[in-house]
C-alpha cells in the first residue's frame, strides 16, 4: 500500500474514534412537592462513542444546582450514573438549569446536562400588578388571590408598603379565593409599592406573598406615520 494512502487511512481511523457522553432523555426532570426545600435525583448516561472519556470537572450554571458523577472515566458503551441536588428555595413554576461536564475529548470538551425543575404553585395572584397612569381618576381596582394547593389557606393580614392607597379584602371561597380591592388616594405622583399578604400557610415560602401597585407616566404615543408624498 502506498505511503500516502496508508497515511490517509490512519487519519481517517483516528477521526472516526471519538467519545460521546449522552443522556437517554433531552433533560433530567425534577418535580418537587410545594413544601420541599431540596430535591435530589439520579440520572443515567452512556458513552456512545468508541473512545474512553475522562471527566476533568463539573461546573454548575446556578448555585442552586450541584451534581456529581459516579466515576472519573467511562469506556466505550459504558453506562454511568449521576447524582444531582437542587435547592428549591423560593422557586415556583418551571425553571431550566444545566451542569457542564468538562472532558478530555477534543470533540466534546464540554458536555451539558440539562435539568428542568417544575415546582407546583399553590398561590396565584391575578393581576400581579395593579397600575394607574399619572392623572388618571383614582378608581378602585382589584386582584384575585387563589390558593390552588392541596391544603386550603387563609389571608390573616395585609400591610401596604406605601400609605397613599386604601384597600379592602374579602374571602370569596373559604380557604381558596380572596378579592383584594385597592384605591389610590391620588394619582398625581409616581408611586411604586406592594401589599404584603400574610397567610396561615405551614410552608414558609408561601407565608408571605406580594401584590404590586404602581402609578407611572403614560407612555408617549408613537410618532405619526409620515404623510403621503405631496400631490403633483
Q: How confident is the model at residue 121 (pLDDT cuts 50, 70, 90)?
A: confident
Q: How confident is the model at residue 220 (pLDDT cuts 50, 70, 90)?
A: confident
Phi first, then psi: give them for residue 88, nearest 5 degrees.
-70, -45
Q: Residue 231: is its pLDDT beyond 60?
A: no
| Bridge partners of residue 191, in order along the sequence | 215
3-class secondary structure, 24: coil
d(CA 32, CA 120): 8
- State the average pLDDT for the chain: 88
pTM of the model: 0.67
- Specify the pairing of strand 129-133 against strand 208-216: parallel
Mean pLDDT value across residues 11-36:
74
Q: Residue 199: is its pLDDT beyond 70?
A: yes
Select from 181, 173, 119 the least CA-distant residue to 146: 173
The percentage of the chain sitting over the pLDDT mark of 70, rounded to a whole number, equals: 88
d(CA 111, CA 46): 12
- Specify the pairing of strand 28-30 against strand 110-119: parallel
Q: Which residue segments constitute the domains of the chain, with CATH numbers given? A: 20-119 (2.60.40.10), 123-216 (2.60.40.10)
Q: Residue 7: is its pLDDT beyond 60?
A: no
Q: Quick one: pLDDT at residue 214?
A: 96
Q: Please, which residues have CB within 8 angstroms of residue 195's CB and are 6 or more apart in sequence?
A: 158, 159, 160, 161, 167, 180, 182, 210, 211, 212, 213
Task: Dump pLDDT digits (tens) for 67-96.
Answer: 999 999 999 999 999 999 999 887 888 999
d(CA 105, CA 107): 5
Mean pLDDT value across residues 201-209:
89
- Tell me the H-state helices in 80-196: none
Q: Quick one: pLDDT at residue 101?
A: 96
Please report, for residues 30, 97, 147, 159, the alpha-carbon distance to residue 94 in angstroms, rounded to integers and kept in the order given. Answer: 10, 10, 18, 29
d(CA 115, CA 96): 6
Select from 23, 22, 14 the least CA-distant residue to 53: 22
d(CA 115, CA 66): 11
Q: How confident is the model at residue 205 (pLDDT cuts 50, 70, 90)?
A: confident
Q: Residue 156: is its pLDDT beyond 90?
A: yes
Q: How confident is the model at residue 16 (pLDDT cuts 50, 70, 90)?
A: very low
| Bridge partners of residue 42, in order along the sequence | 83
Amino acid at each position: 500500500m502506498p505511503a500516502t494512502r496508508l497515511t490517509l487511512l490512519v487519519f481517517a481511523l483516528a477521526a472516526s474514534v471519538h467519545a460521546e457522553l449522552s443522556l437517554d432523555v433531552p433533560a433530567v426532570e425534577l418535580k418537587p412537592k410545594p413544601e420541599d426545600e431540596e430535591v435530589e435525583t439520579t440520572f443515567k448516561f452512556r458513552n456512545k462513542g468508541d473512545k474512553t472519556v475522562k471527566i476533568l470537572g463539573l461546573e454548575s450554571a446556578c448555585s442552586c444546582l450541584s451534581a456529581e458523577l459516579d466515576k472519573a472515566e467511562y469506556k466505550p458503551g459504558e453506562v454511568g450514573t449521576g447524582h444531582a441536588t437542587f435547592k428549591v428555595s423560593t422557586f415556583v413554576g418551571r425553571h431550566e438549569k444545566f451542569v457542564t461536564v468538562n472532558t478530555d475529548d477534543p470533540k466534546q470538551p464540554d458536555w451539558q446536562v440539562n435539568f428542568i425543575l417544575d415546582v407546583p404553585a399553590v398561590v396565584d395572584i391575578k393581576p400581579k400588578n395593579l397600575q394607574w397612569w399619572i392623572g388618571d381618576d383614582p378608581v378602585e381596582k382589584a386582584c384575585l388571590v387563589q390558593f390552588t394547593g392541596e391544603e386550603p389557606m387563609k389571608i390573616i393580614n395585609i400591610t401596604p408598603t406605601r400609605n397613599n392607597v386604601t384597600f379592602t379584602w374579602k374571602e370569596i371561597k373559604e380557604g381558596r379565593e380572596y378579592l383584594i380591592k385597592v384605591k389610590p388616594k391620588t394619582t398625581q405622583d409616581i408611586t411604586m409599592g406592594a401589599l404584603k399578604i400574610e397567610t396561615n400557610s405551614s410552608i414558609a415560602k408561601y407565608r408571605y406573598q406580594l401584590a404590586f401597585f404602581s402609578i407611572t407616566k403614560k407612555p408617549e404615543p408613537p410618532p405619526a406615520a409620515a404623510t403621503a408624498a405631496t400631490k403633483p
